[in-house]
């Protein structure tokens, strides 16, 4: 496992609970990893959750990846390319890579599987792990379901078996594009849901935003080659609803903070962890513009974050759009 933040640690704990021998490493916060060697827990991100004996923190990448075949990377989207570049020289020829990263790469607009293909080569087995989850709940062993998507069905099945146990169930898919797009766009929409609730707009507004946001997510995903049915599953609608409705979501909390009058920088300082939706809003807008895809909700969230538009003005712009059939 590469990535010792809350999400990487939670997934490492789950693989260990399911019976795997797990090494947990990273490319940043090496002081945190050194502390975990002694403390046997991640006191910064998942305090109180003790590591089982088969989970070992490794302060160096060389120790973490020594003679390892299957590797899971859990880092923010803006750090994925650099992380893969650093681990590449340490991989075995038959090493298989999975990531739990959500988001388009900023500026290039590439999805994680495209970034991984460029860095590691397209002939290596790759997969993505995604779905409606919070690190805290996975870390505590609460019942959870996720999706493993890969063009290599054997690898997807092996990962699903390795992570599943009595409280965790993994489903497999071949649609890596759909699973990745769902994970990227939902973070943007969750900021919007937080702003809506923070402004007191109520349940009607929230569900309208989620439903029409799902339409936008599907438009973009299908244009990129995803399967429509993927967006009705865990990595689509499931992840979107969870992230938009629960305050464990950093992206939703960002929206709540913006509605309370805080700046993006003030909200980020308050949350103290990466809020993927902020960068994702820019990347999603760029990809949608390049493809000519209409995504009015995501567009307005971008304008709030980067152009100084007020949340109330954004809502007025959305509600004042030309009426059209629901199917469009």
**Cα distance between residue 45 and residue 33, in whole Å:** 12
Q: At what angle do helices 112-120 and 80-87 cross, to 10 degrees?
A: 30
Query: At CA 9, angle to CA 166 and CA 240, rounded to 5?
Result: 70
Question: What DSSP string runs through 160-201?
Answer: HHHH-BTTEEEEEES-HHHHHHHHHHHHHHHHHHHHHHHTT-
The span from the CA of 154 to the CA of 142, in Å, is 27
Residue 268 · residue 278 · CB < 8 Å: yes
Q: Coil, helix or strand for 325?
A: coil
CB 134 within 8 A of CB 108: no
* Structural tokens at position 81: 């390319």
Strands 126-130 and 96-99: parallel
Task: State how far the Cα of 252 lies from the Cα of 187, in Å rounded to an integer.
Answer: 8
3-state secondary structure of 23: strand
Active site residue 186: yes
Q: Are strands 144-149 and 126-130 parallel, antiparallel or unpaired?
A: antiparallel
The DSSP symbol for 96 reads E
202 CB-side CA count, 13 A: 1
276-291 and 176-198 are packed helices; what angle lies between their axes, rounded to 10 degrees?
120
> Which one from 43, 186, 262, 285 is the annotated catalytic residue?
186
| DSSP character at residue 156 | H
* Rounded Cα distance, 170 and 147, in Å: 6
Catalytic residues: 186
């Amino acid at each position: 496992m590469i990535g010792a933040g809350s999400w990487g640690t939670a997934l490492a704990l789950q693989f260990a609970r399911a019976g795997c021998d797990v090494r947990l490493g990273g490319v940043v916060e090496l002081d945190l990893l050194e502390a975990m060697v002694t403390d046997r827990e991640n006191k910064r991100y998942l305090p109180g959750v003790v590591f089982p004996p088969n989970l070992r923190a490794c302060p160096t990448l060389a120790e973490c990846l020594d003679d390892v075949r299957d590797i899971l990377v859990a880092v923010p989207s803006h750090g994925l390319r650099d992380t893969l570049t650093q681990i590449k020289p340490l991989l075995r020829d038959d090493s298989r890579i999975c990531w739990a990263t959500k988001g388009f790469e900023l500026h290039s607009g590439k999805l994680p599987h495209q970034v991984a293909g460029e860095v590691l080569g397209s002939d290596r087995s790759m997969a993505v792990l995604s779905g409606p989850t919070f690190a805290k709940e996975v870390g505590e062993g609460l019942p959870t379901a996720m999706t493993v998507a890969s063009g290599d069905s054997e690898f997807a099945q092996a990962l699903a078996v390795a992570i599943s146990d009595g409280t965790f169930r993994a489903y497999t898919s071949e649609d890596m594009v759909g699973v990745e797009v769902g994970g990227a766009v939902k973070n943007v929409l969750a900021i919007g849901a937080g702003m809506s609730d923070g402004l007191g707009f109520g349940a009607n507004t929230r569900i309208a935003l989620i439903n029409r946001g799902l339409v936008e997510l599907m438009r973009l995903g299908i244009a990129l080659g995803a399967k429509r049915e993927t967006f009705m599953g865990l990595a689509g609608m499931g992840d979107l609803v969870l992230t938009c409705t629960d305050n464990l979501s950093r992206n939703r909390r960002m929206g709540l903070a913006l509605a309370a009058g805080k700046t993006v920088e003030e909200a980020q300082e308050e949350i103290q962890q990466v809020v993927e939706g902020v960068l994702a809003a820019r990347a999603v807008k760029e990809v949608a513009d390049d493809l000519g895809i209409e995504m009015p909700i995501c567009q307005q969230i971008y304008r709030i974050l980067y152009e100084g538009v007020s949340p109330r003005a954004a809502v007025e712009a959305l509600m004042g759009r030309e009426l059209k059939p629901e199917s469009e």
